[in-house]
Amino acid sequence: MADGPGPQLRPEAGLTFPPGCAYIGSQFVPMSEAKISVLDWGFLRSDATYDVVHVWKGRFFRLDVHIERFLNGIAKLRMELPFGPERLQAILAECVRRAELNDAYVEMILTRGTSPTFSRDPRDAINTFIAFAIPFGSVANADQMTRGVNLHVSSIPRIGPDSVDPTVKNYHWLDLVAGLYEAYDAGAENVLLVDGDGNLAEGPGFNVFAVNDDQVTTPDRGVLEGVTRRTALELLAELQVKAKTAPLSIAALKAADEVFITSTAGGVMPVGRIDGVAPSADAPGPLTQRLTERYWAKHTDPVWSVGVDELPTLDDWRRDD
C-alpha cells in the first residue's frame, strides 16, 4: 500500500503494552502480539468467562480456588476448555516464568470463539482460550492504600442476577463503567453499584464489606463471589470476628465504623470516604489493618499458596488428558 493516511498504528497515540507474556492460539507471545479475531463472540457479544489470580513473591495465591471458579463458569456457559486443569496450571505458570515477574496479575479467559461459517448458533463456535501474565495491579494506588479510597454510591443497579449469573465472572461491565463516570463527576475515585432492592452490590472488580459494632457484613446476592471476599470471611473467622453475608443497606454502609473493599487486584483495601462521609477518619480502620496483614501473611503459607516452579511444566501436562 502507498504511503499516506491509513489505518496505521501511531506510536504517538500512546498505544503501549505492559511487559508480560500471553498464551494465545497455542503459542506464547509478548503482550503486544496477543490479539483475537474481531469476529470472536467474546468481543462481539461479551460471550466469555474469565478469572484473575495473582502471584506474589513468586507464589500463586489460592490458584485451586480460582481454577475451580473458572471451570464452574465454563460449565454454566456450556463451553469447553480444550484441556484439563493440570495443563491449565502449566500454561499459567509458563506465562509467569516467561514474563519474568515475581508479582503478577494472571488472567485466564475462555471466549465462545468464532464459528467457521459465521453462524449465529453458539453451538457452532470453537471456544478460544487465552491467558496472560502482566505486572501486579491494584484497584487502590499507594496513596489510596494509606488514606482509603474515596467512593461514590451510584443509583445504577448492577445487572440483575436473574439476567446474568453473577457467579460466572464476566465482562458485562457497562453498568460499572457508567457508574465510574458518575463517580468521577461527583469528585470520587471509584464506585459502588446497588442491587434491584437498592442495597449495595459491588464495584468494578471488587466486593465491599462494612464493619458495624464489631460485626462485619458483605452483600449476599447479586455479586461475583470473590476469592478475596471468601478469603476475608475465612480470615475473619480465624480472628474470631463475627462476619456474615447479608443485604447491606446504603444507610448501614454510611453509618459503619470501617469499610473495606476486596479484590485479587490489590487484596484488602481501605475505604476513606463514601459520598463525603468518612467512616474511619480517612485512614484504614483497625480491623481493616489486622485483616490486611493476615491476608498478605497467608501468601507465603503453603496451605494457601504454591510456588510458580512447583507447578507442572508443559512437558508433563499430558498425564492429565
Ligand X SMILES: *Cc1c(COP(=O)(O)O)cnc(C)c1O
| C-alpha to C-alpha distances, 151 to 39, 107, 140, 241, 259, nearest whole angstrom | 37, 26, 11, 25, 10
Nearer to ligand X, 39 or 246 (CB): 246
- Residue pair 209/259 in contact by the 8 Å Cβ criterion: yes
Q: Does 179 bind ligand X (CB under 6 A)?
A: no
**Pairwise CA distance, residues 296 & 116, whole Å:** 46
Residue 226, C-beta contacts closer than 8 angstroms, at least 6 positions apart: 206, 207, 262, 263, 264
Size of the site for ligand X (CB under 6 A): 14
Binding segment (CB under 6 A) for ligand X, from list 16-24, 200-208, 214-222, 248-256: 200-208
Q: How far is the CB of 177 from ligand X (least distance, A)?
A: 12
Q: How far is the CB of 170 from ligand X (least distance, A)?
A: 7
Binding segment (CB under 6 A) for ligand X, from list 11-19, 40-48, 179-187, 226-234: 226-234
Q: How far is the CB of 228 from ligand X (least distance, A)?
A: 3
Binding segment (CB under 6 A) for ligand X, from list 23-31, 80-88, 106-114, 260-268: 260-268
If we measure between CA atoms, which residue out of 12, 23, 5, 11 comes closest to residue 98?
23
x-marked contacts with ligand X along 33-52 as a string, rule CB under 6 A: -------------------x
Nearer to ligand X, 115 or 138 (CB): 138
Q: Does 264 bind ligand X (CB under 6 A)?
A: yes
How many residues comprise the chain? 321
226 backbone dihedrals φ, ψ, rounded to 5°: -65, 145
Q: Around Cβ 130, how many Cβ atoms within 10 Å?
A: 20
Q: What secondary structure does DSSP assign to 182-249, as a single string?
A: HHHHTT-SEEEEE-TTSSB--BTTBEEEEEETTEEEE--SSS---HHHHHHHHHHHHTT-EEEE----
C-alpha cell at 171: 465482562
Nearer to ligand X, 111 or 207 (CB): 207
Q: Does 299 bind ligand X (CB under 6 A)?
A: no
Q: Does 273 bind ligand X (CB under 6 A)?
A: no
- Residue pair 154/182 in contact by the 8 Å Cβ criterion: yes
Q: Does 169 bind ligand X (CB under 6 A)?
A: yes
Q: How far is the CB of 5 from ligand X (least distance, A)?
A: 39
Closest residue to ligand X, judged by C-beta, is 226
Q: Does 61 bind ligand X (CB under 6 A)?
A: no
Q: Around Cβ 227, how many Cβ atoms within 10 Å?
A: 24
Kindly list the residues in this chain that would bind ligand X in the complex (CB under 6 A): 52, 169, 202, 205-207, 224, 226-229, 262-264
